[in-house]
Amino acid sequence: MTAPIEVSGSETEAQPDAVLAGVDRKAIQGRSLGQIAWLRLKRDKVAIGGGIVVMLLILMAVVGPFLVGDPNQPHNDLIDPMLSRPKTGIMHSGISSHHWLGVDLPAGRDMLSRIVNGAKYSLIISFLATILAVVLGVFFGVVAGYFGGWVDTLIARTMDIFLAFPLLLFAIALVGVFPDSAFGLSGNGLRVAFLIFVIGFFSWPYIGRIIRGQTLSLREREFVDAARSMGARAPYILFRELLPNLWAPILVYATLMIPTNIIFEASLSFLGVGIKAPTPSWGGMLNEAKEVYEVAPHFMFFPGMAIFITVLAFNLFGDGLRDALDPRSSR
């Protein structure tokens, strides 16, 4: 039997009570699997590029809002009152030394500021929604995979139902009946919580299925049998034996889920059920731009590019991470 390939960096945790003490991988390889993965990842220039862009995006979302101006400050004087488009700039975009990405329509708000502030909400929502989905997905996936039987049937069928749900329509309908304030939250705080809930709650089955499959194969392994024979109870096996061996797929699929959720958040904002006006969001900006894209192409171009670059960076990084952590997959 070869070393359990799913094991990643947290090696010591993965080997409690010296259950696997006989398996001496260090003697063979001299490096931890985490180190191997990191070496592989470092060699993948595309993934590193994606990772750097992701870091920059996160930096932009965290620090950016303090550096750019108020995203809701109108500059009506920059808009031609008859032609209703920015007076100056390349292709009437309003691009100038004050407004690097031009201004929007019809109020003349700074596009750079709106994109930077939009990144904040886009990333917060997609990160937290992903965490929610991962927590739910891993919990139910592990439980279903480990226990099998009727528990598995129940959870697996529930996942099927969730996956078959017309999600976008459901979200639109739900936001329509959503009150202005609930759970001690109101306004945008409530909307953000709502979006996190909707996106996270409906995407957990994707990761749940994968974890369930992995658990199904893991639970037949010797170290699980060993733990069980030593009297370990189910919770212990689930969280101390199985979970540490699942970190790799969890990390990979979480990374790949973030861009999906960014697009989902943008879609909801585009359809008018996202963040409330006038708070900027990339999807909301695209929605505003669709009325005037022929007059002011920059209004659609920049938020579109923001979504494109973010999603691409996360995907490239996620793909690289998968390749690095899972040598079985073809590169």
Partner 1 sequence: MKRSAFRGSAALAAVGVTAALALSACGGGDENGGGDGAFDQASNAIVNASDKKGGTLNLLRTGDFDSTDPGNMYYATAWNFSRLYARPLLTFKSVAGQGNLDIVPDLATGLGQASPDQKTWTYKLRTGVKFADGTPVTAKDVKYAVARSNYSPEVMEKGPVYFRQYLENPNGYKGPYKDPNLDNFKGVTTPDDQTVVFHLAKPFAEFDYLATIPQTAPVPKAADTGDKGGVNYAKSVVSTGPYKIDKYEPGKSISLSKNPNWDTSDPNRKQLVDKIEVQLGVAADEVDNRQMDGSAHIDVQGNGVNAAARSKILSDPELKKNADNPKSGFLWYTAISRQVAPFDNVECRKAVQYAVDKTAYQAAYGGTTGGDIASTVMPPSLKAYQKFNLYETPGDKGDVAKAKEHLKACGKPDGFSTSISYRTERPKEKAAAESVKASLEKVGIKVDIKNYPEDGYTGGVVGDPKFVKKNNLGLMVYGWAADFPSGFGFLQQITDPGALKGTGSSNISHIDLPEIAKMFQDVPAIKDEAGRNKVYQEIDKKVMEDASIIPMLYAKNLYYRNPKVSNVFINYGYSGMYDYANLGLK
> What is the smallest separation between the CB atom of 215 and partner 1, expressed in angstroms?
44
Closer to partner 1 at the Cβ: 263 or 289?
289
Q: Which two tokens stand for residue 177?
A: 């009946």
Give least dist CB 331 to partner 1, A: 46
Nearer to partner 1, 187 or 327 (CB): 187
Listed residue (111, 27, 5) closest to 68, CA to CA: 111
Query: Looking at beta carbons only, is 103 or 207 nearer to partner 1?
Result: 103
Question: From the CB of 293, what's the least distance to partner 1, in Å?
Answer: 8
Q: How far is the CB of 182 from partner 1 (least distance, A)?
A: 13
Q: Measured from the CB of residue 80, what is the shortest distance to partner 1 in angstroms? A: 7
Question: Could you count the other beta carbons within 10 Å of the beta carbon of residue 190?
Answer: 18
Cβ within 8 Å of residue 231, ≥6 positions away? none
Report the residue number, 64 or 280, with the smaller CB distance to partner 1.
280
Closest approach of partner 1 to the CB of residue 102, in Å: 16
Shortest distance in whole angstroms from residue 109 CB to partner 1: 9
Q: Which residues bind partner 1 (CB under 8 A)?
A: 72-74, 76, 79-85, 106-108, 176, 180, 187, 272, 276-278, 287-288, 291-295
Cβ proximity to partner 1: between 59 and 83 the closer is 83
219 touches 270 (CB < 8 A): no
Q: How far is the CB of 76 from partner 1 (least distance, A)?
A: 5
Return the amino acid letter for 153.
T
- Backbone phi, psi, residue 186, to 5°: -150, 170
Q: Which is nearer to partner 1, 106 or 213 (CB)?
A: 106
Question: Which C-beta is closer to partner 1: that of 73 or that of 229?
Answer: 73
Nearer to partner 1, 35 or 76 (CB): 76
